[in-house]
Amino acid sequence: MTDTRFHEMPDGRRIAFRHTKPTHASSGPTLVFLPGYMSDMAGGKASAIFERAKAKGRGCLLLDYSGCGESSGDFADGTLSHWRDEVLSLIDAQTHGPVLVTGSSMGGWLMLLVGEALKERLAGIIGIASAPDFIRWGYSEEQRAQLAAGEVVLEHNPYGPEPTPTHPGFFADAEDLYRLTQKIAIDAPVRLIHGQCDEDVPWEISLKLAAALRSDDVQVTLVKDGDHRLSRSTDITGLLGLVDSFY
């Protein structure tokens, strides 16, 4: 991407990002898109959101987590805590005022951590097939035991030829970041969308998330024939409509 820039973290990690600034102060919140596990900012949903923001004169920030896409680092070293800190550092460096956080799949777990940290700056969150706590409900006891013992777990990857790895460092970090087991300290408006044909994240997870959020302004949209990615043209149109409702 020709407009990709890099943000350096204190430990030297170089985080690739794209940022379009709002055209004026009343353009509304800056939207920050958080991709899923092993995904990057080149995906269809991220690109559509970014192009819509540019066309509307809104602020929008995309990024690749360390170890993903164009960012530096080894994916095996990635954790939710590291990625949360990268997102917050970029938000502080590149944006001003309110922030609208959108997260896809694992990004839907990360958006909760980011949203809690933003506090009064959080204008709202939009979750797409959100997968908070997935290492708790998405793995067998045998797999969890393997990870706890320091072993890498490999699973079938429906989106590519290589298996999807889960590393013990990610697992150990995430064990301290569960959110569905407590009241989530977010009071901003929340919009969740989930496909009922999702084979990776059960749509009921979005209902559990809605119940756990402290906010009273929570709406869940279920797409009866929607899959996990929700990347069809009709899905993208629906997502952009949710984004527009915050402006």
List active site positions. 105, 198, 228
Q: Are 186 and 116 in contact (CB under 8 A)?
A: yes
Q: Helix (H, G, I), strand (E, B), or coil: what is residue 20?
A: strand
8 Å CB contact between 210 and 190: yes
SS3 content of the chain, % helix, strand, coil (to 5): 35, 20, 45
Q: What is the 3-state secondary structure (H, E, C) of 96-112?
A: CCCEEEEEECHHHHHHH
Count CB atoms within 10 A of the CB of residue 234. 11
Can you give 114-150 as a three-state secondary structure string?
HHHHHHHHEEEEEEECCCCCHHHHCCCHHHHHHHHCC
- CB atoms under 10 Å from CB of 21, counted, come to 17
Q: What is the DSSP letter of 70?
A: T
Output phi, psi for 77, to 5 deg.
Answer: -95, -5
